[in-house]
Amino acid sequence: MTASRWRRVRQIAQVVSVALFFILAFLTYRGAESLIPLDLYFRLDPFAAFAAMIAARTVIAALLLAVAAIAFGFVFGRAWCGWLCPLGAMLDWVTPKTHRVSETRRVWKRVKYVLLIVAFFAALLGNLSLLILDPITILNRTFASAFMPAFNVALVAVETALYPLAPLQPLFDGIEQTFRGTVLPAQQTYYQLGWLLALVFVAIVGLNWVVPRLWCRYLCPLGAVYAWQAQVAWLRPRAIKDCSHCAACMRVCPTSAIAVTKSGFTVDPAECIVCLDCVTECPESVIAINFGAINAKAEGTLRGVKDEKTSSGILSFIPHPSAFSLSRRHLLEGAAFAVAGVALFRSAPTARRDDQWLVRPPGARENDFLSKCIRCAECVKVCPTGGLQPSLFESGLEGFWSPLLVSRLGYCDYSCNACGQICPTGAIPPLSLADKRKQVVGVAYIDQNRCIPWASYRPCIVCEEMCPVPQKAVRLEEVDVATPDGKPVHLQRPRVVFDLCIGCGICEYRCPLVGPAAIRVYVPTQLPPIVG
């Protein structure tokens, strides 16, 4: 098959990969069943998978598929980046169609390796903070907390504006009847950090206009995993003829893996994403990407030169100008950065005492949560009420973008245990519904200065009515009191039975007050027994 057809196959593979990612994302969003694991892309992510297993000090069976991804890298190099990565494909599609310039920031390519080394040593210390840089988690968080909520708002606005037009009513009715509650959320969800997640994604995409695939070249730690493997991969670019130094290959290379000099060209396999652009654009068919072992003693990259004796194209392995070689110094520096960073994180006030609003998903608090959470936002995406939100600084920098329950925006549904079932690392344990209902994620407290029956002498029993616990963790007391102006009233005032409250947050969510609720869920506190 010709190179141009192989490139077309690659483009089709990218479309299929992106489509599959978003299909699985939509199915996860609604908690649907699927023959394909809904967290497939996380299972195939060696950076996230092995970091989680190292930090948790355990083998996570669901993530062992990443071993196949490692084997893939040793055979095909960075083909994942050029063929299958959904974020990489999207960056390809929005890259300006202009001639590439020669690499001017070669030293920046080391950044992704440094991030990977630091992430490795941080995982050894039980820290997964740098998993926020994993490309699959970035795309998933953006979809769950920014794209879908905004898309639903836009769709409802369009339907509201155009529904009075009679010809369009059957269309909108069909959309609502077919997709509402299945693909589209039954109710609008709101995310307090959606704007920040969208901004990060837009920045990654926008940097393509500065340098094509800037994220992939300089910052992606998953790309660094495959880049190291690509240096010894079986599939690699090779020179099969003399090079005329026209530099056509260098101009189209999206990662500047090719450098053309007077003596020929060099290709850095660690930066080659096997996109085949150079093969199709070379007017003399000098380059081929095929299988074969490296026969040179020194590690390096390919160079197309001319043999003065035979006047034929040969292969010579020499270091590429931007090639990265791992040294003991890099390992020591990475270890030092990791130790210093983790030490600073764990000397912050949040390490001494939990933030009062740091309400975690069911079972997570007792499960060494931060050493297992990869910030993938699968739980955020599957939460039917939108109560699980990416955190900011509630658990310090160490817990940045890990999930927490914000009860004013959504509650923990008493009939739902989806977050534990979808979590790919087991950071949220896969509890049965019966066990999940027994988990205490927080405790509700009533602010008597804001509660309507307490502060305003008016009837309100919403929190008691909404409490899903069979024995009712919120109970009403019948009282006869006098208002400040002396008028006698009979009221039902709520009180929380702390030993029964599980902190689901529906009372806070349903409280009719504007602004902060009169009943709020706090981090659970171990109380001493009542002495009678």
Q: How many whole angstroms from its chain centre is CA 276?
A: 29
Q: How far apart are CA 249 and CA 102, in angstroms?
A: 11
pLDDT tens by residue, 459-500: 999 999 999 999 999 999 999 999 999 999 999 999 999 999
Classify residue 436: in a domain, yes or no.
no
**Structure tokens belonging to residue 158:** 């369009």
Classify residue 413: in a domain, yes or no.
no
Domain shared by 355 and 449, yes or no: no
Domain shared by 162 and 18, yes or no: yes
Contact 287, 306 (CB under 8 A): no
Q: How far apart are CA 371 and CA 475, in angstroms?
A: 38
Domain shared by 27 and 134, yes or no: yes
List CB contacts of 512: < 8 A, sequence separation 6 or more: 452, 460, 462
The predicted structure's pLDDT at residue 302: 46
Contact 403, 388 (CB under 8 A): yes
- In 3D space, the residue among 154, 173, 151, 174 whose CA is nearest the CA of residue 163 turns out to be 173
Classify residue 426: in a domain, yes or no.
no
**Structure tokens belonging to residue 400:** 């940045």
Domain shared by 65 and 177, yes or no: yes
Q: Is 461 exposed, middle or buried (0-12, 13-18, 19+ CB in 10 A)?
A: middle
Classify residue 432: in a domain, yes or no.
no
Q: How far apart are CA 209 and CA 228, in angstroms?
A: 27
Q: How far apart are CA 214 and CA 103, in angstroms?
A: 11
The predicted structure's pLDDT at residue 251: 87
Give backbone dihedrals phi and psi of 50, rounded to 5 degrees, phi first.
Answer: -75, -30
The predicted structure's pLDDT at residue 32: 65
Provide the number of structural domains found in the chain.
Answer: 2
Domain shared by 206 and 351, yes or no: yes
Classify residue 486: in a domain, yes or no.
yes
Q: Which residues of 115-149 are buried (b: 16+ CB within 10 A; e: fewer)?
A: bbbbbbbbbbbbbbbbbbbbbbbbbbbbbbbbbbb
Q: How far apart are CA 56 and CA 402, in angstroms?
A: 16
Q: How far apart are CA 464 and CA 311, in angstroms?
A: 89
User: What is the domain extent for residue 504?
Assistant: 442-532
Q: Which of 300, 330, 359 is the last residue of a domain?
A: 359
Mean pLDDT score across all residues of the chain = 88
Residues in the chain predicted with pLDDT less than 70, given as ranges, are: 30-32, 97-106, 292-325, 532
Domain shared by 350 and 460, yes or no: no
DSSP H or E stretch at residue 445? strand 443-446
Contact 457, 491 (CB under 8 A): yes
Classify residue 364: in a domain, yes or no.
no
Q: Taking the CA atoms of the chain, what radius of gyration do you get in angstroms?
A: 28
Q: At what angle do helices 46-56 and 221-230 cross, to 10 degrees?
A: 110
Classify residue 507: in a domain, yes or no.
yes
Classify residue 374: in a domain, yes or no.
no
The predicted structure's pLDDT at residue 104: 55
CATH at residue 487: 3.30.70.20
Domain shared by 108 and 201, yes or no: yes
Q: Which of 328, 359, 390 is the last residue of a domain?
A: 359
Domain shared by 347 and 454, yes or no: no
Q: How far apart are CA 3 and CA 25, in angstroms?
A: 33
Domain shared by 354 and 450, yes or no: no
Domain shared by 326 and 448, yes or no: no
The predicted structure's pLDDT at residue 315: 39
**Structure tokens belonging to residue 21:** 């990612």
DSSP H or E stretch at residue 204? helix 194-206
Please state the pTM of the whole predicted model. 0.89
Three-class SS state of 235: strand
**Structure tokens belonging to residue 253:** 């290379």
The predicted structure's pLDDT at residue 294: 53
Q: Which of 333, 359, 385 is the last residue of a domain?
A: 359
